[in-house]
């Protein structure tokens, strides 16, 4: 059955160069993507400043230190992503919306019978329960961009 992760991985494989950095919100959605698309760098995994055992890691691993190439927001976490995108814009890093995947954001196909759904939801809010993908704009292209945030 089609779920959110296979749609996102398919989009990533078709549209993102290997080695691109991507921040995924909520954070737990990183793990299935890491498994199915390991050729990307999953950004902002750790808090800054780093603990001693993480001192040698690339700066992209620490939240907010280096802006990722892409941002992926699942469902209602788009509101949190919008705040981060606005903060990055204020710091001179602009993002543009590049995809809005019309797929229910929650992975409902779980192996346990209690939480398993046997059908893909057809009725859901297309403005708040889908998947949004943003790409960092090159410096020379920064400027006012049309709002892609739901409800605006």
pLDDT of residue 128: 73
Per-residue pLDDT of 87-109, as tens digits, reads 999 999 999 999 999 876 666 55
Contact 15, 99 (CB under 8 A): yes
Q: Which residues of 102-130 are buried (b: 16+ CB within 10 A; e: fewer)?
A: ebbbbbbbeeeeeeeeeeeeeebeeeebb
d(CA 69, CA 23): 8
d(CA 22, CA 84): 13
Tokens 């961009």 sit on residue: 145
Is residue 68 assigned to a domain? yes
pLDDT > 70 fraction of the chain, expressed in percent and rounded: 77
What is the domain extent for residue 32? 4-138
Is residue 143 assigned to a domain? no
Per-residue pLDDT of 9-41, as tens digits, reads 999 999 999 999 999 999 988 899 999 999 999
Is residue 88 assigned to a domain? yes
**pTM to 2 decimals?**
0.82
Is residue 145 assigned to a domain? no
| Apex 5 CA angle, 111 and 31, nearest 5 | 80
If we measure between CA atoms, which residue out of 84, 121, 87 comes closest to residue 105? 121
Per-residue pLDDT of 116-127, as tens digits, reads 555 666 776 677
Number of domains in the chain: 1
pLDDT band at 150, cuts 50/70/90?
very low
Asked whether residue 84 carries a pLDDT value surpassing 60, the answer given is: yes
Tell me what the pLDDT averaged over the chain comes to: 84
pLDDT band at 152, cuts 50/70/90?
very low
| Residue 137 vs residues 51, 89, 123, 130: alpha-carbon distances, Å | 31, 10, 33, 23
Asked whether residue 141 carries a pLDDT value surpassing 60, the answer given is: no
Is residue 123 assigned to a domain? yes
């Amino acid at each position: 059955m089609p779920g959110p992760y296979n749609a996102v991985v398919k989009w990533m494989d078709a549209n993102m160069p290997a080695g691109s950095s991507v921040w995924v919100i909520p954070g737990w959605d990183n793990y299935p993507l890491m498994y199915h698309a390991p050729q990307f760098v999953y950004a902002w995994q750790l808090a800054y400043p780093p603990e001693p055992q993480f001192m040698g890691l690339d700066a992209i691993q620490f939240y907010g230190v280096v802006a990722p190439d892409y941002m992926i927001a699942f469902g209602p976490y788009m509101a949190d992503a919008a705040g981060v995108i606005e903060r990055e814009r204020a710091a001179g890093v602009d993002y543009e919306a590049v995809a809005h995947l019309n797929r229910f954001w929650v992975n409902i196909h779980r192996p346990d019978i209690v939480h398993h759904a046997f059908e893909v939801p057809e009725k859901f809010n297309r403005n708040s329960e889908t998947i949004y993908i943003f790409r960092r704009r090159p410096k020379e292209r920064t400027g006012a961009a049309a709002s892609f945030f739901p409800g605006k």
